[in-house]
Amino acid sequence: GAVVSQHPSWVICKSGTSVKIECRSLDFQATTMFWYRQFPKQSLMLMATSNEGSKATYEQGVEKDKFLINHASLTLSTLTVTSAHPEDSSFYICSAVSGLSSSFLPYEQYFGPGTRLTVT
C-alpha cells in the first residue's frame, strides 16, 4: 500500500515553455502533498506544502508564480513550472500524507519516484 506515482518520470523542454508534473496517490487519499526539488549531489529541498482544496504554502525563496501548485483532488496534485529556464533543471519529488482516518500513518510521507526535468 501507500503508492505514489509521478508523471512524467523525465521531461526535456525548451527554455520559455511550461511543464506540468503530476503526483498521484494510488491507493489512499492524500490530504497533504509536498513538493521537493533536488539538485545533483544535494539534499531534498522542500518547495511547498499542498492541501486539497486550498492554496499551497510555499517555502521562503520559492516563487509562487514560477511554480504553480494545484491540489484539485485527494489523489492528485500538480506542479507546473512556468516559463522554464535552464536553472530550473532539477529532480522534482512529491510526497503524500494520508488523512487521519486512514490506516496509513498520518505523520509519514510516501514519496513518488521523482521527475527529472531538463530545460534546454
Partner 1 sequence: AQKVTQAQTEISVVEKEDVTLDCVYETRDTTYYLFWYKQPPSGELVFLIRRNSFDEQNEISGRYSWNFQKSTSSFNFTITASQVVDSAVYFCALSEAEGAGTYKYIFGTGTRLKVLA
Residues that bind partner 1 (CB under 8 A): 32, 34, 41-44, 46, 49, 91, 93, 95, 97, 100, 105-109, 111, 113-114, 116
Place of cell 504553480: 68
Name the minimum Å distance from CB 24 to partner 1.
15
**C-alpha pair distances (Å), 89 with each of 25, 68, 85, 103:** 24, 16, 7, 36
Chain-centroid distance of CA 11 in Å reads 14
The three-state secondary structure class of 87 is helix
Name the minimum Å distance from CB 5 to partner 1.
11
Name the minimum Å distance from CB 115 to partner 1.
9
**In the complex with partner 1, which residue's Cβ is closer, 14 or 107?**
107
The three-state secondary structure class of 65 is coil
**In the complex with partner 1, which residue's Cβ is closer, 82 or 116?**
116
Counted residue by residue, the chain has a size of 120
**In the complex with partner 1, which residue's Cβ is closer, 22 or 111?**
111
